[in-house]
Structure 1
Amino acid sequence: MSLATLIHRASLPNPQVTTQQALEILEVYYDLSGTLHALGSQQDLNYCLDTGKERYVLKICRGDYAKLELQAQNEALMHLAGHPDLRAPRVIPAAGGEELLTLNIAGQLMHVRVLEYIEGHPLADLKHIGSEVVAEFGRLCGHMNLALAMFQHPGLERTLQWDPRHASALISNLLPIVADASLRIRIADAAQEADRRLQPLIEALPMQAIHSDITDDNVVWQRDAHRLWQVQGVIDFGDVVHSWRVTDLSVTCASLLHHAKGDPFYILPAIRAFHAVNPLSHAELLALWPLIVARAAVLLLSTKQQISVDPANQYSRDSLETELEIFRVATSVSFELMEAAILTAVGESLPAIASEDFAPLLPDLANKAFAIVDLGVLSPHFEAGNWEQEGIDERLLVETAAIHGLAASRYGQYRLSRTRPDSEVEPATCPLHLQLQVPLGTAVEAPFTGVLDIGFDGVLYLSSGQLSLRLWGVKPLQPLGAELVKGRPLGEVVAGLTVQMCRVAQTTPPLFCTPSRASAWQAICPSPARMLRLVCDPEEAVNPQDMLVRRDASSARMQKCYYADPPQIERGWRNHLIDMQGRSYLDMVNNVAVLGHGHPRMTAEVSRQLSLLNTNSRFHYAAITEFSERLLALAPDSMDRVFLVNSGTEAVDLAIRLAWAYSGGRDVVSLLEAYHGWSVAADAVSTSIADNPKAINSRPDWVHPVAAPNTFRGKFRGPESTPDYVRCVEDKLADIAAQKRQLAGFICEPVYGNAGGISLPPGYLAQVYEKVRQQGGLCIADEVQVGYGRRGDSFWGFEEQGVVPDIITMAKGMGNGHPLGAVITRREIADALETQGDFFSSAGGSPVSCRVGITVLDVMKEEKLIENARVTGGYFKARLEALIDRFPLVGAVHGLGFYLGLELIRNRETLEPATEETAALCDRLRELGIFMQPTGDHSNILKIKPPMITNRSSVDFFVDMLTRVLEEEL
């Protein structure tokens, strides 16, 4: 087919066939009837027929297309039938058995086919496609490519506008259609560079039958029971052709770029997945990005051409912005960078630079020892957030040089100073350069032969044909434009020296790159250490996945991590946690670290006390008395005894023992959906099926669960439900009495923590406590999660109900992450346990533990953290409540202060829990730099319990990112 014919076909408008005419074709030739609705297409006319029982696709194309081509498409579909990794539509024959009809419709010659309709959805309009789905596109493309490798048909030998072998000619012909001169130049330049890079590779590119249109429009998906997208099939074989096999992957990658939010590296999971299924040759890997750029240009030009000849084609009009975005992303980075990214993504590397041939850059210092300054995430130089100070890295280098004479940074060491709190964007933490402090006036010589120049940014360049050296802080001693022979004097150091090497002379690399781009940029900008005669590259970091494997090999499996693929967290500061690549995550789950992470006051107090004394609580020292007095001062007046323990579990276990000892009975009433701990007794009164799926049926006979007083989704709903829930307790108490069993006590959280901080019905505890005490039992308030000022309105959760318990248990926040818990009660209750022997908890009342507890109380008061929980937490809740009217998925906001629960539901009437959506939301928030986890028996509630130092800026970041994820339509 000639170029003229190719251009003619690329300019054809859609066939003009009315809905009525299409229905007549289906009835007359296929014995099918029903309702039709149009499916988008650039040049064909597609309809979906719904017969009421089944659905089909009616495809109509102009007679300009050779029947042989359409027959090839049908044969390709039949070739794929039964393939284990693929599903393609079946061809539905006409009543007479024909698989392809050629009809004269209102004077127009048309080709007609009917295909099976594959149920599902394309993902073209999805606002967010995660990396797992991107990888699945690549896997699917690889399987299709393999499946078609042996398919042959004469109809595949055709000239198609989408065949990249004709891209250059097609682009040249269609360029005049672009009215915008600057865009036209950009398209021409990109296409020319793509073709220049592709030409030397053409002979090495394998050819075969390819689909050439596996895009987000042509792959059909459905969500499974876990809300994960699963491929249902591939449609639209209209572009099947015999061409370069790597074309399939280039088309898929190009189509994904409009989901990339500007990041071309977004497609790398697809490339890795394709390569794992169907390995690409080195030539194909080099050709991939030029093909993607060429595809982007052809898409944009073809859409503009189609709009010009068929202005009424809404499908083309709707596609234009998508094609523009694909082209923008495809031309946003250099060819060299994407070539390096693709090669390193599949484990290949760029050719080595003969670095042993370099002359020393600083010949006078070639044999001198440099002090290497650690600027990484775990650097001992960093404490109390000082890495947030402007210029901290440079200051540390200067200070080190003042002591040791010479100082240097490490190339490729992720910098803590580059982390960005409350940011959804991955920070650029990886240095692609070296910083040095050397004496002013130090001679600088050319390490290789090149031309000296200064860039527009004032940077001194030494460039050869394939290599450039960028220098900051150097005054040139040679004329600009001069060619310097290796080893010739170049200049002298006049300030702090920064050195960067780049193997692509025309590229201007950044000084820092993001971790996800590090392997590609480091391939282009290798370490200049060799030309400096330095050993200053960081030791190879332990892969977080390798560390996870080691953890799994040595830890019990039930000790699980947050997330399936968790980042390795080794540092924290205030209300953020920082991984080993310097990314900060907003911590919205850590009700343990009430003061935040790395609090300098806590660090100093613990260090001081450890230097003085740490022992068990049977020794006599002041801290245990001081801390116990502080706790009693916060407790109700009737309470006068404190037990110090190691954890909330230990506190609950001890509280149950106290109730047993005081009452003489063992029977305990607890609430359904509750969690109290993991010890034998604490686990026995825990009934949360989220923590233990067998919790309901495995309780010992001394535990008597009653209905959870959940006023949102419980057995009885609303604030008027108090009598109903109290009656549930009355009935249980009556059962215990009827069996002549002595009640020991009643335990519950005064605010329903496991359900996201739901308040109990008004007056519930007052009535229940009275009835429990009438039967000889004690009332235990489990304040481990919801107490200690976290809610902002009061110090204890039970104050909301206007009651005083007999026993209070607490832990978590009282130690700011240190293992510390407590039980507060009355003397007669405490003394009842004495008949069973002495009690102590080694670390719970140790000097260090007590100083930790005192410090938490001091800082909470001095920094007004309870007030912050009230004010900032109130603002937080108001912002969350505003989401209820915007998003049907948001059912309710529970809690107060910094103990909030956002409950996600699928139906406002039935309150069907959105369990899978909640899990997906938490995973997506992590991608955006936020740690969040679900809670509740249905795991459909966001359990929001951040450090109490959290400020309004972090609240806004969290709610803004949550809004974005909800808008992505999980």
Structure 2
Amino acid sequence: MEEDSLKRRTELARPDVSVDEAKAILLEHYGISEDVTELGSQQDRNYRVDTGEGRFVLKIARAEYERVELDAQNAALRHVGAKTNAPMVPRVIPAGDGEEIVSAAVRDVIYQFRLLTFLEGTPLTRRKHLSAETVSALGDLAGRLAVALADFDHPGLVRQLQWDLRRAGPVALQLLSAMTDVDLRKRIAEAMVGAMRRVQPLMPELRLQAIHHDVTDDNVVSRAEKGGRLMPEGIIDFGDVIQGWLVAELAVTCASLLHHADGDPFRILPAVTAFHAVCPLTEAEIKALWPLIVARAGILVASSARQLEIEPENAYVQGNAAHEREIFDVAVSVPFELMDHAIHQAIGKEEASPALPETGRLLPDIDTHRVGIVDLSLLGPHLPADRWHYEDTEALLLQSAARAAGTAATRYGEFRLTETRLLQAKPPQTLALHVDLCLHGQTAVHAPFAGQLHQRGGRLILSTHGLHLHLLGIEPARLEDGSVEAGDRIGTVPGDASALGFMRVQFCTAAEIDPPPFAAPHQAEAWRRLSPSPGPILGFDCDAPPPQAAALLDRRQRHFARPQKNYYREPPQIERGWKEHLFDVEGRAYLDMVNNVTIVGHGHPRLSAAVGRQWSLLNTNSRFHYAAVAEFSERLTALAPEGLDTVFLVNSGSEANDLAIRLAWAYSGARNLLSLLEAYHGWTVASDAVSTSIADNPQALTTRPEWVQPVVSPNTYRGPYRGESSAGDYVGAVAAKLEELDEKGGGLAGFICETVYGNAGGIPLPPGYLEAVYQMVRARGGVCIADEVQVGYGRLGHYFWGFEEQGVVPDIITVAKGMGNGHPLGAVITRREIAEALEKEGYFFSSAGGSPVSSVVGLTVLDILHDEALQENARTVGDHLKERLQALGQRFPIVGAVHGMGLYLGVEFVRDRGTLEPATEETAAICDRLLDLGVIMQPTGDHLNVLKIKPPLCLSRESADFFADMLAKVLEEGW
């Protein structure tokens, strides 16, 4: 009878009550006659009621749901509401006669009506991406609700409910029996069998209590933080409250998160950790959790399919069907055992590794002291230059090592650079869970322990209690039965004894799993438990040492001065680069969209060879006489406008700007220097003095020395004057400052500014601005300094120098960053008379500036820029990228503007395009999400609300599109 009742309930359609009929009920029983809007639901019907006194929800249930069940929901709402200070749950509103549940007929059918307060907030359902913080907060909310309900009891909690995971098996049978999709029915059935087989022996130990049983993305309302992230804070719809397994509360929550997981079930782990922190789970509950998540996923898909057969027009069910199918697909994408390990690790209850049996040698005929270990890691000596990405690299390196040593092997637990993939949104599977060997054909393979031998899918598998040895690439010996003893010969390496062959060795602790050869880094520890090292049966050390990124960061923070910041709160350990890509020690490739220092790209072989050769010959200071410094100085002046014929070579942009300021002082005999607000010019005393960016120095506007004369920045996007026609207003502001200086006396040494507003995100100066300002400065005896450290040297694509766009010629050019491609190299280019004015203060000297190595670096970078047409590439790829980014502005209101040109671009984010309120927190979160998707990006500008896009000039069109696609993904799915 009980199962028949449950079956009938699974086949119920929603109450057939229209908007007008709902209004009539509201007026008759609650005295309300207001706007009514239908809300989605599966088997009841809900209407939002908007009144002058607030919002409410009218809930309508069929008569088949007993009154005591609805009363239990009301009582649970009161119970939880009394235990929590914040409005965590709705309140029940009695009808005019004081009844909380109204029974009334609509077209001769009896329905049950309740009125609740409406909890304001945003549901999580339609936000595709949920941050780890949001996921954790949802787990915390579910845990706190479970604690609040722990002492709640009511007769209506004992009820028949298809969602009750205690009945998942029978419910699945009923639902699947009517499913017409044969393939899907088979997949769900197999998943349910696997899940219930694991849960059944744990059932006596699973705690029972009152649970909400539906704390899901649909039934949680959230507030939007200032940065745009949603944080759950309220729970609605107590329609599934029941006396059930406590762990089912968490299982239901985690299942709902799987369609926000981008295919990765490990994304639920922050919710598990947070739930356990407030509502600790027992060992049995921990083991039951993932199987119950799988069971919930199967029931969701089967139930929706069944409901749509009953009620095809149910838009709510139709809308949920796709993401419920995704929940199921993600849930069955990994082995039960893997998630069991991951969940134990997440809550700090990892079990001890099972002891391996006594083992012998798998390959007793090889000399374990003469095994060539091939290092395929990021810093391995076997992967110079770009050899890592050739398809046959691993096999060729193994063969080479085997010819030298007789036998060669890869390493277990190694993050292989050879397995990385460029321009991928998801981390590649780089952790090796096996060992590959290259050895002579006909080498005998022996059983290292007694067990059962069988073949599956091309693998030879030797199994004993809790351990399974997988061998690939060997010729099995003929065995009369499956039983073998330790030491028995079970196969040979194929091929002639004089030739080399390959075999793969891998352990697995689960009988039904064929373990993958590689695992993604964030799943590494769980997979290590499931697929431990085969080292004990090989007889030599084949384990790679794990990376120590966290410990290394701690060392950095202990000894590296605190003002020297690093990107990101949890930065990846980057140890290698190639072209526009960076690689961390776990083999993840990142697209480097921020590194304007490495202008010709990372790891350039031509530059590496030139530097290596010069180091082997000579490196000293520039007071010695050698060819490279003369040639480099000559090349630099040839790039500058006529008349700028003299070069100083220094180590950095800060030093270049510092020296430029000293030159202005020496040449003019005056001290006052005009600079722009929001600018950044360096860290030395003088270059910092003229830097007024509050993002770099929050005290910048109140700590400038008297000789610094800042003027309003000609920011045509968010400055006091907007648009290209604003040049006159900004020039007028400079004129007013100069008139003020004229009245005070003391003269003017000069004017320094970036020729494109780089620190603000590449905003161009208004047309004619520099021409007018330069004229006023020179009329007062000052010199004009063009800071090209960030924006010059071909980066703009359309111009080699930024000042060319303004049609002016400065008196001094400062340049650095890209001219050394990461080597400390900077330059000041000026006129002879300005340079020689410095001799009044003595001679100038820079130990490394202009050294033989520095000069060769500078020359080689110029050669590469020319020979590889990188300025042209900056123009064509940059223009394409800017078009892609501007198109995003048509789709997403947060994109206020796209600044810049070539490969110096800025995307400015605002909360309101009218007020231009900076989206500072959103920008930081967007950068964090881009890192997760494989893109290095950082904010800039005084409000830190601009993406500073300045990649190596070798950026390919494909890479530019990847960046635009990933940014679109973030803006569409959330951060």
- The counterpart of 1:505, out of the listed 487, 491, 511, is 511
Alpha-carbon distance between aligned partners in 1 of 2:219 and 2:715, rounded to the nearest angstrom: 46
Give the match's secondary structure for 1:959. helix
Whether 1:402 and 2:408 are equivalent positions in the alignment is no
Q: Measured at CA, do residues 52 and 201 of structure 1 come closer, stay the same or move farther in structure 2, by a change above 3 Å?
A: same
Alpha-carbon distance between aligned partners in 2 of 1:922 and 1:807, rounded to the nearest angstrom: 36
Q: Is the 8 A contact 1:640 1:824 kept in 2?
A: yes
Q: Measured at CA, do residues 233 and 480 of structure 1 come closer, stay the same or move farther in structure 2, by a change above 3 Å?
A: farther
Q: Is the 8 A contact 1:350 1:523 kept in 2?
A: no
Q: Is the 8 A contact 1:868 1:948 kept in 2?
A: yes
Alpha-carbon distance between aligned partners in 1 of 2:319 and 2:465, rounded to the nearest angstrom: 45
- The counterpart of 2:617, out of the listed 601, 609, 612, is 612
Alpha-carbon distance between aligned partners in 1 of 2:512 and 2:17, rounded to the nearest angstrom: 54
Report which stretch shifted further, 11-20 or 941-950: 11-20
Q: Measured at CA, do residues 480 and 399 of structure 1 come closer, stay the same or move farther in structure 2, by a change above 3 Å?
A: farther
Q: CA deviation at 1:684?
A: 1.8
Letter paired with 1:450: G
Alpha-carbon distance between aligned partners in 2 of 1:764 and 1:8, rounded to the nearest angstrom: 79
Q: How does 1:864-883 map to 2 (within 5 A)?
A: 864-883=869-888
* Corresponding residue for residue 574 of structure 1: 579
Q: CA deviation at 1:219?
A: 0.8
Q: CA deviation at 1:96?
A: 4.1
Q: CA deviation at 1:870?
A: 2.1
- 1:15-68 CA distance string (max 9 Å, x none): 223323333433443344421111111122212111134111222212322222
* Corresponding residue for residue 171 of structure 1: 172
Q: CA deviation at 1:369?
A: 4.2
Q: How does 1:677-692 map to 2 (within 5 A)?
A: 677-692=682-697
Whether 1:23 and 2:23 are equivalent positions in the alignment is yes
* Corresponding residue for residue 522 of structure 1: 528
* Corresponding residue for residue 963 of structure 2: 958
Q: CA deviation at 1:353?
A: 4.1
Q: Measured at CA, do residues 28 and 549 of structure 1 come closer, stay the same or move farther in structure 2, by a change above 3 Å?
A: farther
Report which stretch shifted further, 236-245 or 100-109: 100-109
Q: How does 1:766-785 map to 2 (within 5 A)?
A: 766-785=771-790
Give the match's secondary structure for 1:436. strand
Q: Is the 8 A contact 2:596 2:952 kept in 1?
A: yes
Alpha-carbon distance between aligned partners in 2 of 1:842 and 1:717, rounded to the nearest angstrom: 45
Q: Measured at CA, do residues 432 and 657 of structure 1 come closer, stay the same or move farther in structure 2, by a change above 3 Å?
A: same
* Corresponding residue for residue 498 of structure 2: none
Q: Is the 8 A contact 1:453 1:481 kept in 2?
A: no
- The counterpart of 2:681, out of the listed 656, 666, 676, is 676
- 1:563-614 CA distance string (max 9 Å, x none): 2221111111111110110000000000000111111222222223333333
Alpha-carbon distance between aligned partners in 2 of 1:54 and 1:772, rounded to the nearest angstrom: 64
Q: Is the 8 A contact 1:589 1:933 kept in 2?
A: yes
Q: Measured at CA, do residues 77 and 480 of structure 1 come closer, stay the same or move farther in structure 2, by a change above 3 Å?
A: farther
Q: CA deviation at 1:444?
A: 0.8
Letter paired with 2:15: P
Letter paired with 2:609: A
Alpha-carbon distance between aligned partners in 2 of 1:13 and 1:599, rounded to the nearest angstrom: 67
* Corresponding residue for residue 938 of structure 2: 933
Alpha-carbon distance between aligned partners in 2 of 1:200 and 1:47, rounded to the nearest angstrom: 43
Q: Measured at CA, do residues 579 and 367 of structure 1 come closer, stay the same or move farther in structure 2, by a change above 3 Å?
A: closer
Q: Is the 8 A contact 2:933 2:966 kept in 1?
A: yes
Letter paired with 2:295: A
Whether 1:314 and 2:319 are equivalent positions in the alignment is no
Letter paired with 1:778: V
* Corresponding residue for residue 264 of structure 1: 265
Letter paired with 2:569: A
TM-score w.r.t. the length of structure 2 is 0.96
Give the match's secondary structure for 2:189. helix
Q: CA deviation at 1:244?
A: 1.0
Letter paired with 1:598: G
* Corresponding residue for residue 842 of structure 1: 847
- 1:814-844 CA distance string (max 9 Å, x none): 1111111111111221222222222212222
Alpha-carbon distance between aligned partners in 2 of 1:920 and 1:568, rounded to the nearest angstrom: 20
Q: Is the 8 A contact 1:356 1:530 kept in 2?
A: no
Give the match's secondary structure for 2:115. strand
Alpha-carbon distance between aligned partners in 1 of 2:409 and 2:85, rounded to the nearest angstrom: 57
Q: How does 1:354-373 map to 2 (within 5 A)?
A: 354-365=355-366, 368-373=369-374
* Corresponding residue for residue 834 of structure 2: 829
Q: Measured at CA, do residues 367 and 894 of structure 1 come closer, stay the same or move farther in structure 2, by a change above 3 Å?
A: closer
Aligned residues: 968
Q: Is the 8 A contact 1:118 1:232 kept in 2?
A: no
Letter paired with 1:904: F
Q: Measured at CA, do residues 356 and 455 of structure 1 come closer, stay the same or move farther in structure 2, by a change above 3 Å?
A: closer
Q: Is the 8 A contact 1:355 1:531 kept in 2?
A: no
* Corresponding residue for residue 664 of structure 2: 659
Q: Is the 8 A contact 2:646 2:829 kept in 1?
A: yes
Alpha-carbon distance between aligned partners in 1 of 2:193 and 2:530, rounded to the nearest angstrom: 23
- The counterpart of 1:731, out of the listed 730, 733, 736, is 736
Letter paired with 1:416: L
Q: Is the 8 A contact 1:349 1:523 kept in 2?
A: no
Alpha-carbon distance between aligned partners in 2 of 1:337 and 1:468, rounded to the nearest angstrom: 15
Q: CA deviation at 1:442?
A: 1.8
Give the match's secondary structure for 1:711. coil
Alpha-carbon distance between aligned partners in 1 of 2:605 and 2:306, rounded to the nearest angstrom: 65
Q: Measured at CA, do residues 446 and 623 of structure 1 come closer, stay the same or move farther in structure 2, by a change above 3 Å?
A: same
Report which stretch shifted further, 314-323 or 523-532: 314-323
* Corresponding residue for residue 10 of structure 1: 10
* Corresponding residue for residue 38 of structure 1: 38
* Corresponding residue for residue 340 of structure 2: 339
Letter paired with 1:180: D
Q: CA deviation at 1:86?
A: 7.6
Q: Is the 8 A contact 1:453 1:480 kept in 2?
A: no
Q: CA deviation at 1:212?
A: 0.7
Alpha-carbon distance between aligned partners in 2 of 1:243 and 1:372, rounded to the nearest angstrom: 55
Letter paired with 1:519: E
Whether 1:596 and 2:597 are equivalent positions in the alignment is no
Q: Measured at CA, do residues 265 and 438 of structure 1 come closer, stay the same or move farther in structure 2, by a change above 3 Å?
A: same
* Corresponding residue for residue 697 of structure 1: 702
Give the match's secondary structure for 1:246. helix
Q: How does 1:321-720 map to 2 (within 5 A)?
A: 321-349=322-350, 352-365=353-366, 368-456=369-457, 458-464=458-464, 466-479=466-479, 482-494=482-494, 495-542=501-548, 544-720=549-725
Report which stretch shifted further, 196-205 or 490-499: 490-499
- 1:614-656 CA distance string (max 9 Å, x none): 3333333333222222211212221222111111111111111
Give the match's secondary structure for 1:142. helix
Q: CA deviation at 1:215?
A: 0.3
- 1:785-832 CA distance string (max 9 Å, x none): 010111122321111112111111111001111111111111221222
Letter paired with 1:758: I
Q: Give % identity.
A: 55
Report which stretch shifted further, 45-54 or 521-530: 45-54
- The counterpart of 1:742, out of the listed 735, 740, 747, is 747
- 1:927-967 CA distance string (max 9 Å, x none): 11111112222322221110011111111211222222222
Give the match's secondary structure for 2:384. coil
Alpha-carbon distance between aligned partners in 2 of 1:366 and 1:507, rounded to the nearest angstrom: 32
* Corresponding residue for residue 73 of structure 1: 73
Report which stretch shifted further, 603-612 or 206-215: 603-612
Q: CA deviation at 1:152?
A: 2.2
Letter paired with 2:875: R
* Corresponding residue for residue 819 of structure 1: 824
* Corresponding residue for residue 755 of structure 1: 760
Q: CA deviation at 1:313?
A: 2.4
Alpha-carbon distance between aligned partners in 2 of 1:273 and 1:743, rounded to the nearest angstrom: 62
Give the match's secondary structure for 1:957. helix
Q: Is the 8 A contact 1:454 1:480 kept in 2?
A: no
Q: How does 1:48-127 map to 2 (within 5 A)?
A: 48-81=48-81, 82-83=83-84, 87-127=88-128
Report which stretch shifted further, 709-718 or 381-390: 709-718
Report which stretch shifted further, 50-59 or 334-343: 334-343
Give the match's secondary structure for 2:56. strand
Q: Is the 8 A contact 2:547 2:586 kept in 1?
A: no
Give the match's secondary structure for 2:752. strand
Unaligned ranges ≥5, structure 1: none
TM-score w.r.t. the length of structure 1 is 0.96
* Corresponding residue for residue 303 of structure 1: 304
